[in-house]
């Protein structure tokens, strides 16, 4: 059972007797010690061994981080790859939306040009439709979707931050 702040509480095994070592805290939890006192409490023998917990925990934490570092790099590369794919998909959608807006405005212009000038009601309606299509074409999609303009992803900066030391790049 794990309790307290000890990293190896309930996991550390004594090298002499093979029993699990206990975590003990002194000074209101300020100082940690791992000790094997099971034989002493059960059979009245001497304590097998006792050692300070902070250096052991620091060493184990460092070794765990070293072991996980290749996996973190692999995960970072996967995230960067996923970002590139997502960005390309967003760019494709943006360009399709822009193409549809251009087509709609061109179609509205052709309809307006084809109307008989004597039919003012239809011409006025077609002019309004044409102006709305031109406004839609002029409105940038990235402002509507909340995404950056295509080509301004900054993915290399993101990748450098992810794959680097973890510190954000300087502006």
pLDDT tens per residue across span 64-85:
888 888 887 888 888 988 999 9
pTM more than 0.85: no
Model pLDDT, residue 169: 44
Sequence-separated (6 or more) residues with CB below 8 Å from residue 8: 21, 23, 34, 53, 56, 57, 60
pLDDT tens digits, 30-60 = 788 888 888 888 888 888 888 888 888 889 8
pLDDT tens digits, 108-167 = 888 888 888 888 888 888 889 888 888 888 876 544 454 444 444 444 444 444 444 444
């Amino acid at each position: 059972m794990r309790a307290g702040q000890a990293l190896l509480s309930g996991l550390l095994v004594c090298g002499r007797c093979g029993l699990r070592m206990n975590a003990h805290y002194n000074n209101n939890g300020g100082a940690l010690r791992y000790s094997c006192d099971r034989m002493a409490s059960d059979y009245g023998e001497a304590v097998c061994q006792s050692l300070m917990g902070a250096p052991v925990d620091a060493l184990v934490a460092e070794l765990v981080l070293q072991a996980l570092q290749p996996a973190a790099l692999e995960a970072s590369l996967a995230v960067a790859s996923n970002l590139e794919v997502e960005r390309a998909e967003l760019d494709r959608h943006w360009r399709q939306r822009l193409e549809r807006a251009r087509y709609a405005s061109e179609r509205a212009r052709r309809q307006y040009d084809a109307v008989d000038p004597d039919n003012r009601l239809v011409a006025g309606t077609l002019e309004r439709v044409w102006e709305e299509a031109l406004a839609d074409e002029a409105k940038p999609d990235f402002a509507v979707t909340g995404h950056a303009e295509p080509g301004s992803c900054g993915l290399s900066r993101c990748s450098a931050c992810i794959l680097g030391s973890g510190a954000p790049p300087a502006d």
